């Protein structure tokens, strides 16, 4: 299958038009693309709504009009009987295509092309160690402009951020350490509940916890600290999984994590103070886009550096052969505990963010299906790859949004798609491969030699 | 706790233990042969219950329209046999579509396809049959017996008895027949044994067929005991049976039976002595403790680093 893909790509590159197009795209540094996107989103802010009305859309399409694609698929699946629906959804879909082209694609491309010399000059002036920070800042700017257009976008973007955190942190245990943990739902629940309870007890007038203990004005400042406390509580509970992992691994450990998820869910359901099975609400909705973005980036940076550090190498050694790692002076117990605790910490933080995005949590949210969803995102993206985890999480969430108009059929289509991906790419989309951040540096020229094989 | 109450709990525990054990056997056998967990197994249990429902309804309608008058016990036996056959075809189909292409892939990828097949089965059931719950027709008249102050129903006795007979049959099949020998050989070494002329694909299909047939029996017995069917009925019971399979020791048939009954007893007696809301909390804490001190289950072997990555 792989050879077919590369053959298609090579023939596309060898054709003159393909080479010219790809060459002109690849010669543009990432920074220019980001600036182009920034410009496109400013344009959308200015004229988006009127253009949307002009091409016959009810309003600005939420996520690049992807849901119209889903509606079109849904109408097509219904067959001949719903042909009026097919035509109306086809019109909407064509409208979003025009909209995307006029608002996003063409302005982004033009701006990106135009800004190349400027960007290269600018990037050569500043020290290379600031590149990542600079890219992140511009990326955040673009994201902010895009998502504050519409509440739905804002929600989806924050959910994607949380999904990335969950997937990357699960990758540490399932990918780099080679275990099969299904406990991420449980860790998330601990983080979500601990941080919610502290926030509500501290800063909100509540029926159960009474008046706020601390002045509510402090809430935004205390929020990150509370999230960290939630994460730490989550890693404390992870000891219940980490200590049995000294003596066993693989499937037995999978059961331990599964039992852990059941225990956490059942324990929460039995605590009447925090609502039991009815759930817990009144959390201040503090997790805005900036916080989710910052935490996601922090999580990525920490885990990226972790897996590239000596600890990360030791973790991989434990995965490949525990006895050999032990012989090579790796303290396997220590490595296991650290990996589990780090992973659980970030799951807990993600849970805390989730609670403060939605403003309501109940134990059923964090059941075994949550763990299964994170596992699906992880294996879709591929093990042992941070970028793979990002790709998996974003793709899965976007897929979920595209197929939302299909309602129930969505959960028939997603499994079929994932099974197909797994059959043709058993390692996931990017298993054991990484896009390194070296590509942030400005490119001088891009050469394309025709493939020799 | 009076003697009668204790006997009730004991019988309930035996009954739930039989469900868990029947499903756990499917997990364990597939694990033993192919070294992977069939996460769709809980949903095959659900599918078995539904197939049983439709077979039973069809047979009953044949019987009432008067083409052939069938007594209810015969309908029950026919339902059981036909549902076992149909469900084993479903299991073989799942193996062919979702597991065989991934045999050389990392095991976790196969686990994901299994999960996805499970979701697919649930949702397509929900789509085609609607969200309304189905009721299983009462095929067996419920009679209550009383011996020495202890009351019990014939249904519970039948469920436990039938499960035990099937487990014994499986044991004999695996121990005494040529196919069973091939399966045990495959458990021992799935790389070399196919080179000795044992057809790997046929054995894999057979394993899935037997496991699914047992799940179908569990599904039908479950719906006779609790006659309400819904698409997500296999989800939790499937995961719990998975726990039972591992608790006994992965890939071990007596282990799966023991694990199933142990889980049944734990859950029922925790609910009997404490409140039933604490059931999962205490039962799984005990399992966590057992696995901490006996890390390879009851009959399992220490984890050899046979990773197929």
Three-state DSSP state, B135: strand
Label residue B306 by pLDDT band (50, 70, 90).
very low
Give the B window 203-242 contacts with A, CB below 8 Å. Answer: 235-236, 239, 242
Report the complex ipTM.
0.83
Q: Which of chain B's residues have a Cβ under 8 Å away from the Cβ of A243?
A: 292
Q: Which of chain A's residues have a Cβ under 8 Å away from the Cβ of B303?
A: 248-252
Closest of A24, A36, A27, A42 to residue A109, by C-alpha: A36
To test the contact with chain A by mutation, choose from B42, B113, B277, B308 the residue with the greatest count of A C-beta atoms within 10 A, namely B113
Which tokens is A445 given?
């020229």
Q: Do A375 and B300 touch (CB under 8 A)?
A: no
Domain residue spans of chain A:
16-127, 150-437
Nearest residue, CB atoms, A418 vs list B110, B112, B309 = B112
Q: Do B280 and A266 touch (CB under 8 A)?
A: yes
Closest of A240, A208, A204, A229 to residue A219, by C-alpha: A204
Closest of A319, A440, A336 to residue A383, by C-alpha: A319
Q: Do A243 and B115 touch (CB under 8 A)?
A: no
What span, in angstroms and rounded, lies between the C-alpha atoms of A337 and A343?
10
Give the A window 419-438 contacts with B, CB below 8 Å. Answer: 419, 422-423, 426-428
Q: pLDDT tens across A213-268, in order?
A: 888 888 888 999 999 999 999 999 999 888 888 877 777 788 889 889 989 999 99
Chain CA centroid to CA A322, Å: 31
Cβ(A450)–Cβ(A14) below 8 Å: yes
Q: pLDDT tens across B252-299, in order?
A: 888 899 999 999 999 999 888 888 888 888 888 888 888 888 877 888
What tens-digit pLDDT sequence spans chain A (453 residues)?
Answer: 455 656 666 666 666 777 777 777 777 788 888 999 999 999 988 888 888 888 888 888 888 877 788 888 877 777 666 677 788 888 888 888 888 888 888 989 999 888 888 888 888 888 878 888 888 999 999 999 999 888 889 999 999 999 999 999 999 999 899 888 889 999 999 999 999 999 998 888 877 777 888 888 888 889 999 999 999 999 999 998 888 888 777 777 888 898 899 899 999 998 888 888 888 888 888 888 999 999 999 999 999 999 999 999 999 999 888 888 989 888 999 999 999 999 999 999 999 999 999 989 999 888 888 898 999 999 899 888 999 999 999 999 998 888 888 778 888 888 898 888 888 888 888 877 777 666 666 555 555 555 554
B288 close contact with A: CB closer than 8 A: yes
What span, in angstroms and rounded, lies between the C-alpha atoms of A154 and A150?
6
Closest of A207, A204, A230, A186 to residue A284, by C-alpha: A204
Q: pLDDT tens across A166-177, in order?
A: 999 999 999 899
pLDDT at B112: 85
Q: Which of chain B's residues have a Cβ under 8 Å away from the Cβ of A430?
A: none
Q: Do B37 and A266 touch (CB under 8 A)?
A: no
Nearest residue, CB atoms, A180 vs list B108, B236, B281 = B108
Q: What are phi and psi of A435, to 5 degrees?
A: -90, 115
Nearest residue, CB atoms, B281 vs list A256, A266, A322 = A266
- Give the global pTM: 0.87
Q: Do B119 and A411 touch (CB under 8 A)?
A: yes
Q: What is the distance in angstroms between the Cα of B28 and the nearest Cα belonging to chain A?
A: 12
One CATH from 3.30.1120, 1.25.40, 1.10.3470, 1.10.287 for A150-437: 1.10.3470
Q: Using alpha carbons only, what angle is made at residue A101 by residues A98 and A103, rounded to the nearest 5 degrees?
A: 100
Report the interhelical angle of A184-203 vs A251-269 (nearest 10°).
30
């Amino acid at each position: 299958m792989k050879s077919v893909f590369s053959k298609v790509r090579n023939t596309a590159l060898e054709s003159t038009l393909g080479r010219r197009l790809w060459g002109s795209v690849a010669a543009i540094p990432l920074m220019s693309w980001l600036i182009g996107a920034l410009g496109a989103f400013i344009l959308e802010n200015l004229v988006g709504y009127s253009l949307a009305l002009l091409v016959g859309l009810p309003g600005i399409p939420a996520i690049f009009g992807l849901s119209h694609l889903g509606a079109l698929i849904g109408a097509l699946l219904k067959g001949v009987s719903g042909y009026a629906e097919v035509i109306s959804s086809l019109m909407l879909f064509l409208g979003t295509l025009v909209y995307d082209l006029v608002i996003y694609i063409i302005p982004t491309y033009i701006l990106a092309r135009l800004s190349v010399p400027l960007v290269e000059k600018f990037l050569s002036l500043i020290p290379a160690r600031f590149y990542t920070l600079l890219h992140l800042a511009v990326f955040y700017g673009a994201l902010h402009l895009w998502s504050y257009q519409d509440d739905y976008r804002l929600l989806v973007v924050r959910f994607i951020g949380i999904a990335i955190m969950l997937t990357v942190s699960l990758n540490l245990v399932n990918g780099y350490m080679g275990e099969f943990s299904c406990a991420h739902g449980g860790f998330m629940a601990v983080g979500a509940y601990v941080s919610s309870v502290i926030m509500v007890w501290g800063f909100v007038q509540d029926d159960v916890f009474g008046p706020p203990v601390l002045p509510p004005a402090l809430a935004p400042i205390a929020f990150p600290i509370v999230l960290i406390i939630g994460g730490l509580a989550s890693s404390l509970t992870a000891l219940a999984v980490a200590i049995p992992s000294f003596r066993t691994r693989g499937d037995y450990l999978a059961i331990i994590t599964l039992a852990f998820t059941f225990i956490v869910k059942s324990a929460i359901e039995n605590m009447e103070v925090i609502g039991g099975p009815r759930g817990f609400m009144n959390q201040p909705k503090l997790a805005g886009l900036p916080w989710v973005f910052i935490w996601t980036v922090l999580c990525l940076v920490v885990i990226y550096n972790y897996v590239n550090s000596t600890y990360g190498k030791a973790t991989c050694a434990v995965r490949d052969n525990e006895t050999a790692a032990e012989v090579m002076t790796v303290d396997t117990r220590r490595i296991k505990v650290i990996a589990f605790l780090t992973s659980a910490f970030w799951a807990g933080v993600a849970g805390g963010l989730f609670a403060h995005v939605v403003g309501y949590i109940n134990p059923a949210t964090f059941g075994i299906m949550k763990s299964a969803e994170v596992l699906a995102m992880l294996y879709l993206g591929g093990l042992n790859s941070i970028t793979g985890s990002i790709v998996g999480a974003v793709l899965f969430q976007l897929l979920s949004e595209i197929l939302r108009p299909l309602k129930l059929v969505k959960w028939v289509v997603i499994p079929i798609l994932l099974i197909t991906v797994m059959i043709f790419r058993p390692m996931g989309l990017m298993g054991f491969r990484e896009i390194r951040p070296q590509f942030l540096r400005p490119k001088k020229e891009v050469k394309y030699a025709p493939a020799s094989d | 706790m009076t003697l009668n109450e204790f006997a009730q709990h004991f019988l309930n525990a035996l009954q739930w233990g039989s469900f868990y054990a029947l499903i756990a056997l499917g997990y364990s056998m597939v694990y033993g042969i192919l070294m992977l967990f069939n996460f769709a197994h809980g949903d095959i249990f659900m599918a078995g219950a539904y197939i049983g429902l439709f077979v039973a309804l069809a047979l009953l309608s044949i019987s009432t329209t008067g083409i052939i008058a069938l007594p209810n016990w015969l309908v029950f036996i026919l339902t059981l046999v036909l549902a076992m056959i149909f469900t084993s075809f479903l299991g073989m189909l799942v193996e062919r579509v979702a597991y065989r292409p991934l045999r050389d892939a990392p095991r976790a990828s196969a686990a994901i396809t299994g999960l996805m097949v499970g979701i697919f089965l649930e949702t397509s059931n929900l789509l085609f049959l609607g969200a309304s719950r189905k009721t299983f027709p009462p095929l067996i008249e419920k009679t209550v017996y009383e011996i020495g102050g202890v009351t019990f129903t014939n249904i519970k006795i039948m469920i436990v008895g039938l499960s035990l007979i099937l487990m014994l049959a499986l044991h004999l099949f695996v121990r005494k027949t040529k196919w069973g020998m091939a399966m045990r050989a495959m458990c021992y070494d799935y790389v070399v044994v196919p080179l000795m002329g044992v057809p790997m694909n046929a054995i894999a299909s057979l394993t899935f067929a037997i496991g699914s047939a047992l799940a179908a029996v569990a599904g039908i017995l479950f719906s006779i005991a609790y006659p309400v069917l819904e698409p997500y009925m296999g989800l939790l019971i499937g995961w719990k049976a998975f726990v039972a399979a591992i608790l006994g020791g992965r890939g071990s048939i007596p282990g799966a039976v023991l694990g199933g009954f142990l889980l049944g007893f734990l859950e029922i007696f925790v609910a009997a002595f404490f409140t039933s809301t604490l059931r999962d909390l205490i039962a799984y804490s005990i399992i966590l403790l057992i696995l901490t001190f006996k890390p390879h289950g009851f009959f399992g072997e220490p984890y050899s680093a046979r990773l197929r990555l």
